[in-house]
């Protein structure tokens, strides 16, 4: 039996679509997932912890990480930097874990370019009004920031066709199960099983001799 190979799973979605809660639940329900913790220059929200939601750093520190090649990808979002630390992702993939990157669209496209077998999922709320309601209900952002994030959602909606699947986040449990199912299916595609296919061909050729 060949060792299980982890894949990169990119999860994007409008701010307020509920990605964070979804991802936490997915990781909690199944043990084959590892959630990557990003680095950001944005200030922590109340309740957020260093090293759990993000590694909170200064712009200077972030730029140093970029220069040293410590990030697989990075992007600017509503005036702040966000990026994925390289080391953690590498180690978890090696262990056979599926690594979830909860990142915005520019980062998602960079990941797809560098890792063509990455699976790209886009989380949507049931409708746009619900999105606004969730953002306002969160109570952690000022009206100006909410406005910026809604504008950004409109821009991001232009890029949805680049993703492999859309997931509608209406009922949390159902959505988690659906995502897990999509990821299991992705593990079975030929382009993610090159080694298995080559091995099988080699063994069959040996029979034919």
Residues that bind ligand 5GP (CB under 6 A): 15, 38, 42, 73, 75, 77, 82-84, 102-104, 106-107
Check: CB of residue 85 under 8 Å from CB of residue 39: yes
Q: How far is the CB of 75 from ligand 5GP (least distance, A)?
A: 4
Closer residue to ligand 5GP (CB): 4 or 138: 138
Q: How far is the CB of 108 from ligand 5GP (least distance, A)?
A: 7
Q: How far is the CB of 78 from ligand 5GP (least distance, A)?
A: 7
Check: CB of residue 195 under 8 Å from CB of residue 2: yes
Closer residue to ligand 5GP (CB): 75 or 160: 75
Q: How far is the CB of 18 from ligand 5GP (least distance, A)?
A: 11
Half-sphere exposure of 189 (CA within 13 A, CB side): 13
Would you put residue 150 in left (φ > 0), alpha (ψ -120 to 50) or beta? alpha
Closer residue to ligand 5GP (CB): 37 or 168: 37
Closer residue to ligand 5GP (CB): 33 or 77: 77
Q: How far is the CB of 121 from ligand 5GP (least distance, A)?
A: 12
Question: By beta-carbon distance, which residue lies closest to ligand 5GP?
Answer: 107
Distance CA 122, CA 203 (A): 39
Short-list 156, 141, 123, 129, CA closest to 20: 123
For 6, phi and psi rounded to 5 degrees? -75, 150
Closer residue to ligand 5GP (CB): 172 or 197: 172
SS3 (DSSP) at 37: coil
Q: How far is the CB of 94 from ligand 5GP (least distance, A)?
A: 20
Closer residue to ligand 5GP (CB): 116 or 185: 116
Q: Are strands 33-35 and 38-40 parallel, antiparallel or unpaired?
A: unpaired
SS3 (DSSP) at 102: strand
Check: CB of residue 120 under 8 Å from CB of residue 73: no
């Amino acid at each position: 039996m060949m060792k299980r190979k982890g894949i990169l799973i990119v999860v994007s979605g409008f701010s307020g679509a509920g990605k964070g809660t979804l991802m936490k639940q997915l990781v909690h329900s199944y043990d084959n997932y590892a959630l990557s913790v990003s680095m950001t220059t944005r200030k922590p929200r109340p309740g957020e912890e260093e090293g759990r939601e993000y590694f909170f750093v200064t712009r200077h520190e972030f730029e140093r990480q970029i220069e040293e090649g410590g990030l697989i990808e990075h992007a600017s979002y509503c005036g702040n930097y966000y990026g994925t630390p390289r080391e953690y992702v590498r180690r978890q993939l090696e262990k056979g874990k599926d690594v979830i990157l909860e990142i915005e669209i520019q980062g998602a496209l960079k990941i797809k370019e560098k890792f063509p077998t990455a699976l790209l999922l886009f989380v949507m709320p049931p409708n746009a009004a619900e999105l606004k309601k969730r953002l306002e209900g969160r109570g952690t952002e000022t009206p100006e920031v909410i406005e910026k994030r809604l504008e950004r959602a409109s821009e991001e909606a232009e890029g949805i066709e680049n993703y492999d699947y859309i997931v509608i986040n209406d009922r949390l449990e159902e959505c988690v199960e659906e995502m897990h199912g999509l990821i299991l299916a992705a593990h079975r595609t030929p382009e993610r099983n090159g080694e298995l296919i080559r091995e099988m061909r080699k063994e069959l050729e040996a029979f034919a001799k």
